[in-house]
Amino acid sequence: MRQHETSLGELGEAGILERIVPFFQHRDDAVIVGPGDDCAVVRAAGELVFTTDAIVEGYDFILGISDPVSIGRKAAVQNLADVASMGARPRWLLTTVLAGKDTPIAVLEGIAEGIAREAHPLGASVIGGDLGTARELTVSITAIGELARSGAAVVRSGAKEGDVLAVGGEVLGLSSAGLAQVLGKSDATLPDLESRGQAVASIAGRALSWHLAPEPDLSAGWDAGRSASAMIDISDGLVRDASRIARASGVNLDLSRAALESDCALLAPLANVLSVDPMEWVLGSGEEHLMLATFPRSVWDENAQVRAAFREIGCVRAAEGDGDVRLDGVPLAMYGWDHFSV
């Protein structure tokens, strides 16, 4: 017989806060007033960057396939990555959770644990937020980061002809490969991947883990990434996010097929089982949250730290008219995630 799980409705708001606020305890001398007052108060030393993003049950995750800790980690990472892509270090988070009154408190405890697990090692503190009710479980986070010096923000509009295009991670496409498994599980069409051999099972497990709770090296953004001429995190797909740099900078970003072959080769065992071209995953995978940046050629050639944190996947070329994204010089159709596409 299943043991009774205490629900949010049984605890009430005060009881819920008593259960989840302890997860956010974190030493931060810059926090003057933390959770518990109408507003938080912090002491900032320099320029700040702000971002906000939300994930919604049924659209961004499926409760039951995604565990609560992974949901919290995913919600945190997508905001922390935005801060990092500006060349800033994450400092503070404001967290809002909306859930039905019948939701077990264990779900919110897991989400809080996941957020803290991603934020605290980076030196970021949860300093407040809100609770509310909704039909779909929703987690919304506002992240605040701090720049190392005035005017140091890395924006999308700085890419120049001749720059190196690079990504801060070993593999592109993992999240889409994981999403394919989530969708297959949800409609019972996913084949038994364990029976397809070690190579398939290995990349399937890695991809699913990445989709549920991505693990990008965010420090690439505020360390080596501060030398970039333009930067963005890959949240909606390599091509879609590269196109944002291209349009903002008025250049073409030319991806190298040869540089992406290793990604395709790694994904190929699973892609073959699911009858997918692995390049589709590489070009279109959202929720990767790796740093995508352009660097002046001189910086790339002379800075070993940059080359250790990023790998070259293309170059920046002059554009005639609006900038676009190409693969070995051939213009690409748009790949990636659009929240409002049919």
Query: Which pTM value belongs to this model?
Result: 0.95
The confidence score (pLDDT) of residue 342 equals 47
Q: Are 51 and 106 in contact (CB under 8 A)?
A: no
Q: Are 120 and 26 in contact (CB under 8 A)?
A: yes
Mean pLDDT of 272-300: 97
The chain-wide mean pLDDT, for the chain, equals 96
Q: Which pLDDT band, with edges at 50, 70 and 90, does 3 fall under? A: confident
- Cβ burial, residue 17 (10 Å; 0-12/13-18/19+): middle
Mean pLDDT of 43-61: 96
A 10 A CB-CB count for 327 gives 16
- pLDDT per position as a tens digit, 118-148: 999 999 999 999 999 999 999 999 999 999 9
Q: Which domains does the chain have, with CATH numbers?
A: 8-146 (3.30.1330.10), 163-331 (3.90.650.10)
- pLDDT per position as a tens digit, 5-15: 999 999 999 99
**Is residue 340 pLDDT above 80, yes or no?**
no
Give me the percent of the chain exceeding a pLDDT of 90: 94
Note the maximum CA span of the chain. Answer: 68
The confidence score (pLDDT) of residue 334 equals 79
The confidence score (pLDDT) of residue 4 equals 81
- pLDDT per position as a tens digit, 74-101: 999 999 999 999 999 999 999 999 999 9
The confidence score (pLDDT) of residue 335 equals 74
The confidence score (pLDDT) of residue 2 equals 56
Mean pLDDT of 193-219: 97
- Cβ burial, residue 100 (10 Å; 0-12/13-18/19+): middle
**211/156 Cα distance (integer angstroms):** 25
Mean pLDDT of 40-49: 96
**47/144 Cα distance (integer angstroms):** 10
- pLDDT per position as a tens digit, 159-184: 999 999 999 999 999 999 999 999 99
Give me the percent of the chain exceeding a pLDDT of 70: 98
